[in-house]
Amino acid sequence: MNKKVIKVLAILLGLVLAYTTPVYAENSGPFKISTLDISVMPEYDTSEVLILYSINYVNTSGQPYNGEVRFPAPKGTTSNIVKETATTNDNHLAVRVEDKGDYAEFFWKPSQAIQPNASYPIHLEYYYNPLPGSGNKAFTYQFRATLPVDQARINVYQPLKATNFKMEPVGQLLGQDNQGFQVYGLNSANLKNGDRVDLKIAYTKEDPNPSIQKPGVSGLTGQSGQASGGQFSSAVIIIPLVVLGVIIAIIVVKTFGNREMAREAVNRRVVQNNREETRDSKLAKEKRKLRQKLLNGEISEETYHELLMEIEEDYN
């Protein structure tokens, strides 16, 4: 083989290597996922499906990475949250969503460069709605690996008041938590870029209400700000009663001139209103505080579920 042939082959080999070198912008950066915990929670606190991820990225390159990170998701997600959990700071990140045809992808920029071989833990969540209105319900949760995944664990929560629950592949029944959810687990390992996990879930549920009340903005109950079948938050009842109690007290003072009597009337009304705050309302507030700690990165998802069980035990 003469020198010209060797030179041509060397050039061709160089071109092949150049065009087959991974481009980080197309494969979510120089990462792998060491552990991936997924919670699939249909009709948890809305009529949609809540998906929670605890993702531990690892920078497998020899260089700091300062580019975007991406993660696959279904199309049409809402209430998208991406939060860095390595610190206790409130590192909620801005999320950009791109349509990729039959699925979507979340994009975000890390708050700082990810060092070589360093872990980059993320909490990610969203809602989406693949469910029919009522009765027999079925949907497929799909995880599409865009990075190598060493270990993935999927926990599926059977909705309360649901019957005929089935999942395929069949998951192992892990038990019932203190909220009454039957939890099923499924493990996968050594997923490669391009692998998919398709999890078919079916059940029957006639009750249109979600399993629990979504934390609201009133600070008094855990009910959602959305309309919910004619139910009223305790704030709607308590506040008018307090106002009524104050008006009655003023009338007593003006009519009888007995300030002490008015003060006692107001105190009785406040005590009565405090008693009207139900056990469920107090429980919802505790759950809301615990959920916020999870979002703030103060506790892990595993600790969140453990503390949630303890709260349920305290109120049962």
Residues 42 and 159 in one domain: yes
Q: Residue 4: inside a domain, yes or no?
A: no
205, 224, 252 — which closes off a domain?
Answer: 205
pLDDT recorded at residue 204: 95
Residues 194 and 245 in one domain: no
Does 176 lie in the same domain as 28?
yes
Question: Is the residue at 19 inside a domain?
Answer: no
One domain, residues 96 and 242:
no
Map 239-302 to HEC letters.
Answer: HHHHHHHHHHHHHHHHHHCCHHHHHHHHHHHHHHHHHHCCHHHHHHHHHHHHHHHHHCCCCCHH
Same-domain pairing of 113 and 251: no
Domain extent, residue 243, equals 234-315
For residue 251, what pLDDT is reported? Answer: 57
Does residue 108 belong to any structural domain of this protein? yes
| CATH for 192 | 2.60.40.1730
- In a domain? residue 7: no
pLDDT at site 260: 56
| Pair 138, 21: CB distance under 8 Å | no
Q: Are residues 28 and 134 in the same domain?
A: yes
- 128 and 195 inside one domain: yes
Give the pLDDT score at 69. Answer: 94
Same domain assignment for residues 179 and 116: yes
Torsion region of 58: left, alpha or beta (phi above 0 gives left; psi -120 to 50 gives alpha): beta
Residue 149 lies in a domain: yes
Q: In this predicted structure, what is the pLDDT of residue 272? A: 54
User: Same structural domain for residues 33 and 179?
Assistant: yes
The reported pLDDT for the residue numbered 295 is 77
Q: Do 185 and 243 sit in the same domain of this protein?
A: no
Q: Which of 167, 188, 205 is the last residue of a domain?
A: 205
Residue 210 located in a structural domain: no
Shared domain check, 280 and 144: no
Q: Note whether 193 and 147 are within 8 A (CB).
A: yes
Question: Which residues pair with residue 182 across a beta bridge?
Answer: 176
Domain total of the chain: 2
CA distance readout (Å), 75 to 127, 136, 156, 180, 195: 10, 23, 20, 30, 19
pLDDT in tens, the chain (316 residues): 555 545 544 554 444 433 333 333 344 568 999 999 999 999 999 999 999 999 999 999 989 999 999 999 999 999 999 999 987 666 899 999 999 988 999 999 999 999 999 999 999 999 999 997 778 999 999 999 999 999 999 999 999 999 999 999 999 999 998 889 999 999 999 999 999 999 999 999 999 999 998 766 333 333 333 333 333 334 444 555 555 665 665 654 455 455 555 456 545 554 455 554 555 567 667 777 788 788 777 787 778 777 877 777 776 6
**242 within some domain:** yes
40 and 186 share a domain? yes
- Structural domain contains residue 94: yes
Instruction: Give the pLDDT score at 265.
Output: 52
pLDDT for 114 equals 94
